[in-house]
Amino acid sequence: MWHVLLVDFEEVDESLLDALPTVGSVVIFLASAFAYLASIAIAIGMVGVMYGYSYSYSNRELRLGRTVRARTAARRVCNAARRRDGPANGIPQRVEAAVPALLTEGHERAEGDDCTICFQPTEFPVNRHSKVYVCCTRRVCNGCTLAARQRGMYDCPFCRTPHPRGEAATLRMIRRRVRKGDVEAIKYLGSKYYFGSLGLPKYVPRAIQLWTEAAELGSLEAHHNLGDSYYFGRGAGVEVDKPRGIHHWEQAAMRGNAPSRHNLGYAESMERNNELAVQHYMISAKMGYKESLDAIKRRFMEGHATKAQYAEALRGYQDAVGEMRSSHREEAKRIET
Ligand SMILES: [Zn+2]
Ligand SMILES: [Zn+2]
């Protein structure tokens, strides 16, 4: 057996044994070459997949042209807003989501516009068709005030406190409520300083200070007043600061303040952003704000709004006005005129 194996081994061609190392090198060389080529192929494949994905993605974007344009427009608005509300003004930078929120929030009138007695929203301008009584700082519409008088009630129609006699007594009543932190009273006192009434000197810096305090406590009217002051530079010593003014209007508009919403439309139209302006005007027109309806009508006539948009604004406006009407309010208006 061993002998056979020995013989067999001896019979193997010597040259083959000599060639063994050479064959091994060739195999190693081929394996490395294969691995090299395979890695190149994988790299090419990956590039191809990535390119294909990006191509199909961009193709999808192209197909959804409207989406792309909308995104671009939103980004442009957002970037403009970021430039506007830069940290230089001490206003936090807005995130992109804030732009849609500005248009989706605040479609309902703010509760502060409702009459405390009949719960109906007050007609515009709110402070002409209603009154805030200093005793309780509650808003009562002219219709309810008239109805109370017709029943022989000449004190506050809500809390029945007799009206303060004279400016000094009114001011004392207001200051008492300001000391208690009544937001409406703080805003009210700010307005008295702004116009210099109730025996107070006209002092705009104090008005701005009180409005700022009231705005921080949630007064939408205070936000609106600050918006007007900064955007237009109204009031002695107030410099024009449009970004700050717009910021205050936005705060009020997103919580249902129609005059602020209208002013945002105005600010956008000043920047020739007619499409965005109409969107703002549409919201306030549907709250019954006549100036916004008129603004949409003008843009429709100039070709910056569609007939459908004007018709929608008109319908919404008429519905809102219908909700604000009452026989007592109509009577109060007749007496006023
Ligand atoms: Zn009322
Ligand atoms: Zn009262």
Q: CA 5, CA 10: separation in Å to the nearest integer?
A: 8
Task: Output the six-digit token pair for 287.
Answer: 């709250």
Q: Is the peptide bond before 259 cis (omega within 30 degrees of 0)?
A: no
Q: Looking at residue 13, what is its pLDDT?
A: 47
Cα–chain center distance at 117: 31
304 residue type, one letter: H
d(Cα 226, Cα 248) in Å, to the nearest integer?
A: 6
Cα distances (angstroms) measured from residue 307 to each of 62, 261, 294, 302, 314? 29, 22, 13, 11, 10
Identify the nearest ligand to the CA of 148 by its number: 1
Peptide bond into 125 cis (omega under 30): yes
Are 110 and 220 a contacting pair, CB within 8 Å? yes
Distance 189 CA to ligand 1 centre (A): 24
210, 211, 215, 218: CA torsion to nearest 10: 80
Length of the chain in residues, anyone? 337
Quote the tokens at residue 125.
């301008």
In the reported structure, the alpha carbon of residue 161 is separated from the centroid of ligand 2 by a whole-number distance in angstroms of: 6
The model's pTM: 0.71
Q: Sign of the C-alpha dihedral, residues 72, 74, 80, 85?
A: negative
What is d(CA 123, CA 321) in angstroms, rounded to the nearest whole number?
8
Distance 228 CA to ligand 2 centre (A): 29
CA distances from 164 to 44, 116, 151, 168, 169 (A): 87, 20, 20, 9, 5
Distances from the Cα of 25 to the Cα of 28, 32, 40, angstroms: 5, 11, 23
Please state the φ and ψ torsions of residue 155, each to the nearest 5 degrees: -90, -165
- The predicted pLDDT at position 32 comes to 60
Distance between Cα 155 and ligand 1 center (Å): 15
**Rounded-to-integer distance, Cα 138 and Cα 19, Å:** 108
**Which ligand places an atom closest to the C-alpha of 157?**
2
Say if residue 164 is exposed, middle or buried (CB neighbours under 10 Å; 0-12, 13-18, 19+).
middle
- The values of phi and psi at residue 206, to 5°, are -70, -40
Cα atoms in the Cβ-side hemisphere of radius 13 Å centred on 91: 19
Place of tokens 């961009």: 58
Amino acid identity, residue 13? D
Provide the pLDDT for residue 41: 55
> What ligand has the least distance to the C-alpha of 123?
1
Residues of the chain with pLDDT under 70: 1-99
Other beta carbons within 10 angstroms of residue 166's beta carbon come to 11
Measured from the alpha carbon of residue 113, the closest ligand is 1
CA of residue 135 to ligand 2 center, whole Å: 4
Rounded to the nearest angstrom, the distance between the alpha carbon of 128 and the centre of ligand 2 is 18
State the ligand closest to the CA atom of 177.
2
N-terminal to C-terminal alpha carbon distance within the chain:
135
Ligand in closest contact with the CA of 137: 2
**According to the model, what pLDDT value does residue 39 have?**
59
Q: Residue 134 C-alpha to ligand 2 middle, in angstroms? A: 7
Instruction: Give distance in angstroms: CA of 207 to centre of ligand 2.
Output: 24
CA of 331 relative to ligand 1 center, distance in Å: 12
Ligand nearest to the CA of 328: 1
Ligand at minimal distance from the CA of 327 is 1
- How remote is the CA of residue 194 from the centroid of ligand 2, in Å? 24
